[in-house]
Amino acid sequence: MSQALRSGIAYFTFAKATGELRDAIGTLRAGNYDYTYRTNNKKGAKLDVIKYFDITVKAWRSFRIERLHSIAA
């Protein structure tokens, strides 16, 4: 999943905490989004959480990896 996000734009579906399925378009590739970091304070990364930049809403989002349903790059 992380590799697909880093290589470009990925289309994927995951279950929200409510159980509702959400279709998302996201990326982690520099140049695909315009974002200024507010802080350099990076706490320990959670390995079971996928963070991505949502192209549709132009904001950072995340979800738990076990809630991933499908992915297409």
Tell me the pLDDT band of 66, cut-offs 50, 70 and 90: very high
pLDDT confidence of residue 45:
61
What does the pLDDT look like over 9-25, one tens digit per residue? 889 999 998 999 999 98
Instruction: Please give the residue range of the domain that contains residue 62.
Output: 2-72
Among residues of the chain, what percentage have pLDDT more than 90? 21
What does the pLDDT look like over 30-56, one tens digit per residue? 766 666 555 555 665 666 888 888 989
Q: Tell me how many domains the chain contains.
A: 1
Full DSSP string of 8-73:
SEEEEEEE-TTS-EEEEEEE--TTSS----S----PPPPTTEEEEEETTTTEEEEEEGGGEEEEE-
